Amino acid sequence: MAKKAEQRRKQILKAAFQAATEKGYESVTLQDIADYADVSKGVTNYYFKNKSDVFTQLFEWITTRIYEKEAASISEQETAIGKLEAYIDRVFISPEENKNFYRVYLDFLSQVKNNVSYKEINQKFYENCWSIGREIIHQGLEEEIFEVDDVEQTAISIRCMIDGSLIQWLMRDDDQLHDYYRTACYESILKILKYKK
Amino acid sequence: MAKKAEQRRKQILKAAFQAATEKGYESVTLQDIADYADVSKGVTNYYFKNKSDVFTQLFEWITTRIYEKEAASISEQETAIGKLEAYIDRVFISPEENKNFYRVYLDFLSQVKNNVSYKEINQKFYENCWSIGREIIHQGLEEEIFEVDDVEQTAISIRCMIDGSLIQWLMRDDDQLHDYYRTACYESILKILKYKK
DNA sequence: CAATTTATTTTGACCAGTCAGTATAAAAGA
DNA sequence: TCTTTTATACTGACTGGTCAAAATAAATTG
């Protein structure tokens, strides 16, 4: 029974995600979600406390998923450079694949200031991101190819660079620029790490 | 008379801005705007075609204002380092002063994908930002303290770093971190510029 | 096994409230 | 007086959330 409920919950979250990608966070209605999930309107209220509850859980799901994919990508690599490359490639995954994820994530970001839960979820996401940065830095220090004096600050800066590049890429929304921003981001991070090849 | 009209327009835009900072972009109503401007609802509809028109003009006003303040800050400085410092200081201006500007800007960013006008306005803003970056880079190259091979790409990366740092700072929303992010951003950009002191 | 009861899930009509936009009235200014 | 500007009233569309009733599934009993 709990299995069925969990399945329904996921189904509704996916519908909410799809609705959000196509209509934008704020303008999504409970009816939209129900339509995308192919159920009637009441179901959403049966499985979720209210609309806000749906979106809170969706935000958590999205940030967790982004992190897990990133973490999985770097763990497949042995070297610092390999990890960093895998990381950036995952962030700038081919147009359309993860683009929607980051678009909806940006939607949520703009809501963080109005919602304490969102802020906490995002804080957790940041901490996950920083841990990825630390892992890459430590590996690079071990290999003696990076020169970093403040590991924590550098890990934070890496994510700043990634988010900044990602957003600028998303905003310009030109598939031609995909490679450009991925490369620019990657090379900037190498400089921040004072990479000596 | 045209002067009076222009004044009213600005008054309404300011009211819309204030409403947006306090209630968030999407949930602002025409009534809110009228209330903040201390006029009746009819006035807004008299001076603007519709709600979307108000926000489009507000977005243009905000991005222009952010750019102008940044440009003014760096033009007061002679040296590359002076310009860069002034630039970053302007971006990370004391909590509350320009914070609201960037918050509302972020609100607009999340709407760019649904609105062609927003996209164009933001594209123009980016170009202005990049021109600031170029100016600093050129100055630093003249002084022979930076080492940059692709000026354009580096100018873009500088703004990525700024936006990324800014957003992370805004999201964490802890006044204690103000200095931290300003410094981290500044130092990262120096590394991207391969600054040799 | 079949009949019946109970529990769970789903439906869609409905309500009270909000909104953008319009229409109209009032006021101010030329 | 006539035009411009501001205030108020109204409308029609849409929203989130509620709820009683229907449908379905599970459990119980004879």
What confidence tens digit (pLDDT) does each residue in B139-170 have?
A: 999 999 999 999 999 999 999 999 999 999 99
Indicate the Cα dihedral angle B137, A150, A80, B153, nearest 10°.
-10
The answer to whether residues A101 and A115 touch, using CB atoms and an 8 Å cutoff, is: no
What confidence tens digit (pLDDT) does each residue in B39-93 have?
A: 999 999 999 999 999 999 999 999 999 999 999 999 999 999 999 999 999 999 8
Residue B97 has pLDDT above 90, yes or no: no
Count chain A–chain B contacts defined by CB atoms under 8 A: 124
Mean pLDDT for all residues in chain A: 94
Which amino acid, one-letter code, is at B108?
Answer: F
Q: Which CATH number fits domain A52-192: 1.20.120.330, 1.20.1250.20, 3.40.50.1010, 1.10.357.10?
A: 1.10.357.10
Domain B1-48: give its CATH code.
Answer: 1.10.10.60
| Weakest mean pLDDT among A93-97, A142-146, B30-34 | A93-97
Phi-psi region of B146 (alpha: psi -120 to 50; beta: other; left: phi over 0): beta
What confidence tens digit (pLDDT) does each residue in B61-74 have?
A: 999 999 999 999 99
Q: Looking at residue A94, what is its pLDDT?
A: 82
Give the residue carrying structure tokens 């009228």. Answer: B34
Q: What is the CA A116 to C1' D25 distance in angstroms?
A: 40
* Nucleotides in chain C near protein beta carbons (<7 Å): 8-14, 18-25
Alpha-carbon distance of B33 to B53, in angstroms, equals 13
pLDDT band per the 50, 70, 90 thresholds, residue B5: confident
Average pLDDT of span B114-122: 94
Handedness of CA A84, B192, B154, B175 (dihedral sign): positive
Q: Looking at residue A2, what is its pLDDT?
A: 66
pLDDT band per the 50, 70, 90 thresholds, residue B1: low
Q: Looking at residue B4, what is its pLDDT?
A: 74
Three-state secondary structure readout of A98-151? CHHHHHHHHHHHCCHHHCHHHHHHHHHHHHHHHHHHHHHHHHHHHCCCCCCCCH
Share of chain B above pLDDT 70, in %: 99
Handedness of CA B54, B56, B57, B63 (dihedral sign): positive
Q: Looking at residue B79, what is its pLDDT?
A: 97
Residue B194, SS3 per DSSP: coil
Q: Looking at residue B103, what is its pLDDT?
A: 92
pLDDT band per the 50, 70, 90 thresholds, residue B94: confident
Between helix B80-91 and helix B151-172 the angle, nearest 10°, is 30
Domain residue ranges of chain B, discontinuous segments joined by +: 1-48, 52-192
User: Residue A69: CB partners within 8 Å, gap ≥ 6?
Assistant: A90, A98
Residues in A closer than 8 angstroms to B153, CB to CB, are: 180, 184, 187
A29 touches strand D (CB under 7 A): yes
Closest residue to C30 (CA to C1') is B1
Q: Looking at residue A132, what is its pLDDT?
A: 98
Alpha-carbon distance of B26 to A113, in angstroms, equals 13
pLDDT band per the 50, 70, 90 thresholds, residue B2: low
Handedness of CA B33, B37, B38, B43 (dihedral sign): negative
Q: What is the CA B39 to C1' D10 distance in angstroms?
A: 19
Please give the C-alpha separations between residue A83 and each of A90, A107, A132, B26, B73, in angstroms, as whole numbers. Answer: 10, 28, 9, 39, 39
Give the residue carrying structure tokens 């409403």. Answer: B19
What confidence tens digit (pLDDT) does each residue in A16-53 have?
A: 999 999 998 889 999 999 999 999 999 999 999 999 99
